[in-house]
Structure 1
């Protein structure tokens, strides 16, 4: 079955999740270091305020913070971390599937180009995607998504012994007592 966006859906551009747990807060869209400047420039051209935080860092010493950042994350514009800043929710325009359109669709981050594929072993479809929930499969037309995911995996490959995640301290108000902030060493 061929993957396609479900009518009137923009869920993947709106809802953010806690990952790997609530203490880390909600994650933003993964931005590779080589994409960061381009995404910031696009936001400036569109007169949008965006917030890009670190996401994953590495170090050779467990007692020092990351010496290199492997990935950043673009945070959502809502207080709870949801809604991509490039999602056009205000103009009344609609995408081909009648959802909200992306203001930078042709220039969107590599992570957006991989969706609905998610990195796991084996690579799977995101169960939160409405299409994937409905159809349980998509075995056609995901070649460009697979290529994008492979590029991300190559960029994230490291021999460094210590991997750090950045806790965003962003999420639902009722969860705020669980949030941590800053770099946390993965155990």
Structure 2
């Protein structure tokens, strides 16, 4: 079955999730280091405020903080971390599937180009995607998503012994007492 966005859906651009647990807060859209400046420039051109935080870092020593950042994350515009700042929710314009359009669709981050694929072994479809929930399968029209996912995996590969994850301290207000902030060594 060929993947396509469900009519009027923009869920993947709105909802963010806690990962790997609530302690870390909600994650933003993965931004590779070579995409960061381009995304910041696009936001400036569109007069948008964006918040980009670190996401994954690496080091050769357990006692230090990350020496290199492998990935950043662009947080949503809502206080709880939801809603991509590039999602056009105000103009009344619609995407081809009648959802909210992306203001930078042709320049969107690699992670957005990968969706609804999830990096796992084997690669799976995101169960939160409305199309994937409804149809349970998609085996056509995912070539560009697979290519994007492979590019991300290639840039995220490391032989550094220590991987760090950044806690955003962003999420639902009722969960705020669980949040941490800053870098944490993955165990």
What is the alpha-carbon distance in structure 2 between the residues aligned to residue 90 and residue 82 of structure 1? 16
The Cα of 1:171 is off from its aligned counterpart by 0.1
User: Counterpart in 2 of 1:87?
Assistant: 87
User: Counterpart in 1 of 2:180?
Assistant: 180
Mapping of residues 32-111 of structure 1, within 5 Å: 32-111=32-111
The Cα of 1:60 is off from its aligned counterpart by 0.5
Superposition RMSD in Å? 0.3
The Cα of 1:173 is off from its aligned counterpart by 0.4
What is the alpha-carbon distance in structure 2 between the residues aligned to residue 185 and residue 26 of structure 1? 17
Number of matched pairs: 187
The Cα of 1:79 is off from its aligned counterpart by 0.3
User: Counterpart in 1 of 2:124?
Assistant: 124
SS at structure 2 position matched to 1:87: coil
Is the counterpart of residue 19 in structure 1 residue 19 in structure 2?
yes
The Cα of 1:61 is off from its aligned counterpart by 0.6
Q: TM-score w.r.t. structure 1 length?
A: 1.00
Structure 2: gaps spanning 5 or more residues: none
The Cα of 1:44 is off from its aligned counterpart by 0.3
Structure 1 ranges of 4+ moved more than 3 A: none
Q: TM-score w.r.t. structure 2 length?
A: 1.00
What is the alpha-carbon distance in structure 2 between the residues aligned to residue 122 and residue 168 of structure 1? 28
